[in-house]
Amino acid sequence: NASLLGILQHPDGTVLKQLQPPPRGPREQEFYSKVYDSNCCDSILLELREYLPKYFGVWSPPTAPNDTYLKLEDVTRKFNKPCIMDVKIGQKSYDPYASAEKIQQQVSKYPLMEEIGFLVLGMRVYHMSSDSYETQNQHYGRSLTKETVKDGISKFFHSGYCLRKDVVAASIQKIEKILEWFEGQTQLNFYASSLLFVYEGSCQATTVRLSDVTLAEKRGVPKGLLSGGDVLEYNNNIHVINSTENGKIDASVSKGLSKFYALHKKACSKRHHSQLSLKVENSEQDNVWKSSTCITQEHLNGNVLPQLEKVFYHMPAETKESANVEVRMIDFAHVFPSNTKDEGYIYGLKNLITVLQNILDN
């Protein structure tokens, strides 16, 4: 479902997030450009990169050069059955320059923001028992009160069989790192910004298949991102596209994207965009990517196997072991320079940690 505004999944391991109208879109682009500037030597910003999706610049479809997309790492990509939750953080979801009308609108959406300090915008949880996803939209989060927020969030960590306490514990550790960063910086304040949580819902490790030969079953091999992004697994066929260089997409892929983009434009509705939309499950859109060159069987042994071995043997140890939970900051249309600690965001993080700790303890 790619109809949630502006998030497209690209087979090269990135997502395309459509830039919002000014001033929000340009502000978000400026934020990413600043943090990921290759000349950046501010240790605060350099550390912040660890908690964000990687940024690969902007992209526009050749057919509509005025439509701009941020090209971002797809944080869900390495997971087989990704469970995803988007939580807005802070006591105010309106920024310091918001009109009285905007403030009123934001507060009325969730009057408890000030007191709770966060709001669940949506979740998608894989249930092993039924082999299906359960989805909750933004109305779910807004229905949660101080009394029910703990049970409301614990739903995200429930597999249908059991409460994933391992995931809760790992999530707390990751939020604590982000909290430490916030305690140490006084240059940025974040409003209406979210944390994206992703963990593996299936007990199967990610499998990379070439034809029907299972070469390896290793957790954490990013689907399709083998050997620096040259080789893609897509619909169990192996396709090759040229490596993208600095996030620029080569012409044939660009053409595919234009068609992809046109289809997306048709389907696009103005609902809240968040990285929960993700998978594009439309067969016509699948076909866009089938035009890539297919590798023939005799090439497989020569080319791909050594490349795969390279991937398996040279992955960092931590990826092999326990990269089973991701917590990343997303949505930066309301980030402002500041000279104080971001107390509202800190309050939200601390309260979220408290709630998760309660889920763990009971």
Q: pTM score > 0.75 for this model?
A: no
- Greater model confidence, 250 or 179: 179
DSSP string, 239-293: EE-PPPBTTBPPHHHHHHHHHHHHHHHHH---SPP-TT------HHHHHHGGGSE
By the 8 A CB rule, do 327 and 125 touch?
A: no
Lowest mean pLDDT among 99-113, 122-136, 181-195, 236-250: 236-250
pLDDT surpassing 90 at residue 237: no
Task: Identify the pLDDT of residue 5.
Answer: 53
- pLDDT, one tens digit per residue, over 297-317 is 334 344 444 444 444 444 443
Lowest mean pLDDT among 79-83, 201-205, 331-335: 201-205
pLDDT surpassing 70 at residue 355: yes
By the 8 A CB rule, do 142 and 111 touch?
A: no
The letter for the amino acid at 47 is E
Cα 10 to Cα 272: distance, rounded to the nearest angstrom: 20
Mean pLDDT, the chain, as a whole number? 78
